[in-house]
Amino acid sequence: MTPLSSYMILSAIVFVTGVVGVLIRRNIIMILLSIELMLNATNINFVAFSYYLDKVAGQVFVFFALTVAAAEVAVGLAIIIALYRGKNTIAAEELNLMKW
């Protein structure tokens, strides 16, 4: 039987991969994809805890996380399309209007 800590370490690896992706990629679409990685890492954690502690609440939380992820993707991609229409680029370092 796999111990709970292996699930947590798997989820930590996926989460850190997402964090590194947000830090190192230029393309905004890739940054959004990395955020998806992080959300899925937390979902793995929730489901593993739900199984090991025998509580259904973890699975319900994953359901809500899915809802929020869907909303985030819809709004984020709409922002990207609006940005591309206005500035003709989706590179993160070009979008420095609000940078001091």
Partner 1 sequence: MGSLSFLYFGTVIVLTAILVVALRKPVYSVIALLVMFFHIAGLFVTLHAEFLAAVQLIVYAGAILVLYLFVVMLLNVKEDDSYQRQFRLGMGLGLLALAEVVYIVSAAGLPKEPVRGPAAAAAVAGNTETVGRALYTTYLFPFEVASLILLVAMIGAILMAKKGIMGESK
Subset of residues 6 to 35 that bind partner 1, contact rule: CB under 8 A? 6-10, 12-21, 23-27, 29-30, 32-34
Subset of residues 32 to 51 that bind partner 1, contact rule: CB under 8 A? 32-34, 36-37, 40, 43-44, 47-48, 50-51
Torsion region of 51: left, alpha or beta (phi above 0 gives left; psi -120 to 50 gives alpha): alpha
Q: Applying CB under 8 A, which of residues 35, 42, 91, 98 lies at the interface with partner 1? A: 91
Q: Applying CB under 8 A, which of residues 42, 82, 87, 96 lies at the interface with partner 1? A: 82
CA distances from 27 to 12, 18, 34, 51, 95 (A): 24, 14, 11, 37, 11
Contact flag: residue 95 with partner 1 (CB under 8 A): no
Both tokens assigned to 24: 């190192």
